Amino acid sequence: NMNFNEVIAARANQIMGLAQDAPGGVTANDHVNLAQSTNDCVPTGIKIACVLAWPALQEAAQLLIKALEAKGRETTDILRTGRTCMQAAQPMTYGQLFGGYASMVSRALQDVERAVHGLCTVPMGGTAIGTGLGAPEGYREVIEEALSESLGLEIECAANAFDGMQSADGFARMSAELRNLAAACAKIAADLVILSSDGASGIGEILLPAVQPGSSIMAGKVNPVMPMSIQQISMIVQGQDLTVSLAAQAGQMEINHFEPAMAQALFTQMALLTAGLPQFAESCIAGLKVDEARSYENLARSFAVSTVFLRALGYKKVAGLAKRAQLEGRPLSEIAAEEGLLDADQLRDVLRGATGA
């Protein structure tokens, strides 16, 4: 704070053609810091910096949301196996999967936005400890208006300056919502890693764009580098959230001395997400393809069809089919077709009807 004050004072004297220590010149303490303190200026500056960084992060996340929504529309009719506990559960579509992802990120983004609005309440006017000693009457109203006008934001001073000076809950809330946004994106990334596992030994339903040679020793290998990049960004963001949480609770008496650590953590979180989410959208989501035939094959061969068959064939018949399928090591749907219960078209119709799409 005082470094800024000294630079501003020096520049003011330079403009006026005065030596730095000339009588009648501008001084860092008496003039630039008038009615202010490091203790109310620094947290205000950190809050405003986060608010100003928000539009870029918002745009980055919206690019990802739009990419997920577009992929959902593109894959709206592709059947897949819904999985719980990494086991086949019930049929759904890839459109539903990507639509759910888009909604999840959108919700997390809205929560971040609410936290950003909270940062527009600042402790200016509290001066050193919240009493406002050194600030003239009416200063809070003047500084509110000046900050709002110069920044194009709706800035307001904390209703209770003592609360505003000592509490870091605004920073903790912002960090927590950034953590949640990162966690949502990492969850999507983790799913894509699994779904893109090679068709010979894994699920193999999603084909990710190759953004670089996959391996220095295994020719033709395509690694899920973009999803894994997002996972690592999320790890860092969540680690920084712990830093903010620890710093927020470490405040002592009338102020929190650990705001620089919180500032560094918040700026890192926002910068990583702002840079990473558009890359994830453009270099991964937009270009990925779903192997429709493979996805349907996995579904038709899975025991996810057993719950769907209950309505069409009844419990007793399905139980018998399931028992035979286990004994013979064959798909339940294949045995049902063999017994003339459902042909291929009927099977597809039954599975699609179960998705609710």
Nearest partner of 257 among 146, 165, 178, judged by Cα: 165
Least confident of 224-238, 264-278, 292-306: 292-306
Distances in whole angstroms, Cα of residue 45 to Cα of each of 91, 132, 230, 336:
51, 18, 29, 68
**Top-level CATH class of 36-207+219-291?**
mainly alpha
Q: Which residues are catalytic?
A: 215
Q: Indicate the average pLDDT of the chain.
A: 90
Give the SS3 label for residue 204: coil
Distances in whole angstroms, Cα of residue 298 to Cα of each of 97, 307, 313, 342, 347:
16, 16, 21, 18, 14
Question: Between 1.10.40, 2.40.128, 1.20.120, 1.10.3470, what CATH number should domain 303-353 receive?
Answer: 1.10.40
Nearest partner of 205 among 22, 313, 82, 314, judged by Cα: 82
Q: What kind and span of H or E run contains 150?
A: helix 139-151
Q: Which residues pair with 92 in a beta bridge?
A: 80
As a whole number, mean pLDDT of residues 15-39 equals 89
For residue 312, give every residue at least 6 positions away whose Cβ sits within 8 Å of its Cβ, in sequence order, or none: 342, 350
Phi first, then psi, for residue 344 (nearest 5°) are: -60, -45
d(CA 263, CA 302): 50
pTM (2 d.p.): 0.89
pLDDT band, residue 319 (cuts 50/70/90)? confident
Best-predicted range by mean pLDDT (83-87, 92-96, 221-225, 344-348): 92-96
List, in sequence order, every beta strand (DSSP E) within the chain.
79-84, 87-93, 121-122, 156-157, 206-207, 289-290
